[in-house]
Amino acid sequence: MEEPVGYEAPSWNRIFQMMLKQAEKISKSGFKPDVIVGVSRGGWIPARILSDLLENSNLANVKVECYEGFNEVGKKATLTQRLSADVSGKRVLVVDEVADSGRSLKLVTQHIQEQGASQIKTAALYYKRDSAFTPDYYEEETYCWVVFPWEIKETVRSIYTKHKNRPARLEDGIAKLKTAGIPNWLTNRFVKELSRDK
């Protein structure tokens, strides 16, 4: 596994600003979803925010897994939880946090088509330029590994687990998170918790 090109760690405020822009884009495009589907787990929070901003409380869930580990995108996306709502004949907005390999969004779109949706649009906060799937709506392009506020401990744990026997590499990985904007006190707290759990 290669280390990421770099880390990007958007703040809650930055994410909300991005979501405001995305809601405006969706509204201006004329697309009015009947159902908003969050791709579990990363797309749950953006889907909920769009539910609020678009004033649409019809929120559903689907779960896909395609990561094998930290910064390791698996070769295959697997649907592990089917769509939680009836979308037959409905307009559907599928929301994820990032279009990384594109496999998740592609699989979910196919699954929703099979469920009889009349129209499907996709949205993500970030789009990686080498993704095999381009969302209809996205806010930023990146090559970085994006660390969202709802997955900071998970990210620190992954770096810690990978490098705990190589202190210099661990220190470098944590320093890169700090450079990306994750507060020192938070990374230090999680590293301390993890070192106690050994």
Whether the upstream peptide bond of residue 166 has omega within 30° of 0, thus cis, is no
Return d(Cα 54, Cα 39) in angstroms, integer: 18
- Alpha-carbon distance values, 156 to 75, 142, 182, 192 (Å): 24, 21, 10, 11
Q: Whose CA is closest to 74, among 45, 107, 39, 46?
A: 107
Distance from chain centroid for Cα 123 = 11
7-146 CATH: 3.40.50.2020
Percentage of the residues of the chain whose pLDDT score is greater than 90: 81
Residue 54 gets which letter from DSSP?
Answer: T
pTM of the full structure: 0.89
Question: Cα dihedral sign for 101, 137, 48, 37?
Answer: negative
Give 28-38 pLDDT, tens digit per residue: 999 999 999 99
Give the total residue count for the chain: 198
Q: Whose CA is closest to 85, among 61, 63, 108?
A: 61
State the pLDDT confidence band at 121, using cuts at 50, 70 and 90: very high
Q: Per-residue pLDDT averaged across 95-114, rounded?
A: 94
How much is the pLDDT for 182? 96
State the pLDDT confidence band at 77, using cuts at 50, 70 and 90: confident
Which of 19-23, 25-29, 38-42 is predicted with the least confidence, judged by mean pLDDT? Answer: 38-42
State the pLDDT confidence band at 1, using cuts at 50, 70 and 90: very low
| Phi, psi dihedrals of residue 89, rounded to the nearest 5° | 75, 10
